[in-house]
Amino acid sequence: MNRKSIKVFAPASVSNVGPGFDIMGFALDEPGDEVVVSTNDSGKIVITDITGDNGKLSRETENNTATVAIKALCDEMKIKQGIDVAIHKKMGIGSGLGSSAASAVAGVFAVNILLDLNLSAEKLLPFALAGEALASGAIHADNVAPSLFGGFLLIRDYDPVDIIRIPVPEKLHCTIIYPDIEIKTSEARQILPTTFTMKDVIAQSGNAAALIAGLSSGNSDLIGRSLVDRVAEPYRAGLLPFYDKLKKKAASAGAINCNISGSGPSLFCFSNSRKKAEKLASVLGEFVDEQGYGVQTYVSKINNLGPKVIE
Displacement of CA 174 from its chain's centroid (Å) = 13
Of 8, 10, 12, 23, the residue at the interface with a second copy (CB under 8 A) is 23
Q: State the Cα–Cα distance between residues 26 and 269, nearest whole angstrom.
A: 13
DSSP 8-state symbol, 265? S
Q: Which stretch binds a second copy (CB under 8 A): 17-25, 44-52, 86-94, 284-292?
A: 17-25
Of 74, 208, 258, 295, the residue at the interface with a second copy (CB under 8 A) is 208
Q: What angle do CA 140, 142, 147 make, to 5 degrees?
A: 115
Q: State the Cα–Cα distance between residues 15 and 60, nearest whole angstrom.
A: 27
Q: State the Cα–Cα distance between residues 32 and 63, nearest whole angstrom.
A: 20
DSSP 110-126: HHHHHTT----HHHHHH
Query: Among the options 132, 175, 233, 297, which is catalytic?
Result: 132
By C-beta, is 2 or 195 nearer to a second copy?
195
Whether 132 is catalytic is yes
**Residue 194: CB minimum distance to a second copy, A:** 7
Query: Among the options 30, 61, 185, 278, which is catalytic?
Result: 185
| Contact call for residue 195 and a second copy (CB under 8 A) | yes
Whether 60 is catalytic is no
24 SS3 class: strand
Q: If phi over 0 gives left and psi between -120 and 50 gives alpha, with beta otherwise, what is residue 18?
A: left
34 SS3 class: strand
By C-beta, is 117 or 203 nearer to a second copy?
203
Of 41, 116, 157, 170, the residue at the interface with a second copy (CB under 8 A) is 157
By C-beta, is 87 or 212 nearer to a second copy?
212
Q: State the Cα–Cα distance between residues 285 and 46, nearest whole angstrom.
A: 39
CA pseudo-torsion sign 51, 55, 61, 67: negative
Single-letter code of the amino acid located at 269? C
| Contact call for residue 258 and a second copy (CB under 8 A) | no
294 SS3 class: coil
By C-beta, is 72 or 163 nearer to a second copy?
163
Of 203, 220, 235, 293, the residue at the interface with a second copy (CB under 8 A) is 203
| Binding track, positions 77-116, relative to a second copy; x by CB under 8 A | ----------------------------------------
Q: Which stretch binds a second copy (CB under 8 A): 2-10, 19-27, 106-114, 298-306?
A: 19-27
Active site amino acids: 132, 185
Return residues touching a second copy (CB under 8 A): 19-24, 154-157, 162, 164, 166-167, 192-198, 200-213, 216-217, 222, 225-226, 230-231
